[in-house]
Amino acid sequence: MTPDPRTATSRFDADALTGFAQALLVAASMPDDRARDVAGILVEGDLLGHDTHGLQLLPSYLAQIESGDLTVQGEPVVIADHGAALTWDGLRLPGPWLALRAIEVASARARTFGTGTVSIRRSHHIACLATYARRVAEQGLVLLLFSSAPSGSSVAPYGGTRALFSPSPLAIGFPTSADPVMVDVSTSITTNGLTGRLAREGGRLPGPWLIDEEGRPTDDPGVLVPPRAGTILPLGGVDAGHKGYGLALMVEALTAGLAGHGRSDPGARLGATLFIQVIDPQAFSGLPAFREQMDWVATACVENPPVPGGDRVRLPGWRGVSLREQQLRGGVNLRGSIVTELSQWADKLGVPLPLPMETTHD
């Protein structure tokens, strides 16, 4: 019997994958420099182990170039610029390219004014937030990155039953003397990714993290699948969900409010409203003082006595950084289902898929 390629895992050279993804995007009409940024961010998602936010996204990006929902030509429109604060209309241009440009500008402004903030309406999807956090932190800077999806709603306000918010993540990256810390958390108790996968597999969540359309707590992800109209609880869940609800409102104000674009705008398509802020510790008490404080905290975390049966306490992002280094050397793991989808686009656009370094079957 021939093994099913969809249940296999293949390892690919990271540079070869990036070149492949870039070539696919260029074949789909994206300018080369933008394609390089998008490919680099997607492959880095896989490198860091965020495989739901890596190359798995590329087929949808390619399809949206075809449908016109992802714009490839043109420049973002500068709506406002007040020194430390800029507002852009992203015109549905490639998210990773826009976000990296915004981070460049915000970093330069932060070097001058102490902080630099770029608010972006109508960005296309930006993939894995931690990839940006790592890049900024490695420059000795702090990144705050808040994102909301104006067309996505799977989370009700606490005490309510109708979906309103997206899981609306917030991310921070900051340097230490060791690896950078990269926090990337949704303001809901879980994400659309996990609930969607469990719903397909008939699985259950670890606790009553959802409510059905009547407001009854449940661990059954099936309540989220139409025609059911359940919702994901805010972070804090049944008991303390007012906190996640407050955080969702914070993300909403900093993204949709400042960008002047959001859920109130009809016909919003897949995309993101972004709040990108770079902070230069050198403009405050100095980078050495920042590192001294955060090194102390990082050490107090990793040396903290673990809970029974638990592993050593980790800093958010450190496992990803180490996995990235390992996969840069030894190859990037891609699930067979992703490889299969990429092969179809490779055939369609006439771009050869790189040969895997190794393929293993479950």
Site for its own copies in 13-72 (CB under 8 A): none
Output the smallest distance, CB 184 to its own copies, in A.
8
Binding mask of the shown chain, residues 215 to 254, with x at each position contacting its own copies by CB under 8 A: xx------------------xxx-xx-xxxxxx-xx-xxx
Binding mask of the shown chain, residues 186 to 215, with x at each position contacting its own copies by CB under 8 A: x--xx---------------xx-x-x--xx
Q: Are 10 and 343 in contact (CB under 8 A)?
A: no
Q: Which region among 20-28, 182-190, 324-332, 344-352 touches its own copies (by CB under 8 A)?
A: 182-190
Output the smallest distance, CB 324 to its own copies, in A.
19
152 binds its own copies (CB under 8 A): no
CA distance linking residue 321 with residue 316, whole number of Å = 10
Sheet of strand 85-89: strand arrangement: 77-81, 85-89, 115-123, 272-279, 142-148, 169-174, 181-186
Nearer to its own copies, 58 or 120 (CB): 120
Q: Are 45 and 53 in contact (CB under 8 A)?
A: yes
Nearest to 181 by CA among 291, 31, 56: 291
Task: Tell which positions 260-279 bind its own copies, by CB under 8 A.
Answer: 260-264, 277, 279
- The distance in angstroms from the start CA to the end CA of the chain is 14
Among 114, 140, 203, 354, which residue sits at the site for its own copies (rule: CB under 8 A)? Answer: 114
Long-range residue pairs from 305-312, CB within 8 A, at least 24 positions apart, any chain = none
Nearer to its own copies, 65 or 294 (CB): 294
- C-alpha dihedral sign at 101, 102, 108, 111: negative
178 binds its own copies (CB under 8 A): no
Output the smallest distance, CB 145 to its own copies, in A.
11
Neighbour count for residue 306 (Cβ, 10 Å): 9
Output the smallest distance, CB 236 to its own copies, in A.
6
Among 13, 179, 184, 341, which residue sits at the site for its own copies (rule: CB under 8 A)? Answer: 184
Element containing residue 360 per DSSP (H, E): strand 358-361
- C-alpha dihedral sign at 361, 16, 130, 304: positive
Task: Tell which positions 302-331 bind its own copies, by CB under 8 A.
Answer: 304-308, 310-316
Nearer to its own copies, 172 or 332 (CB): 172
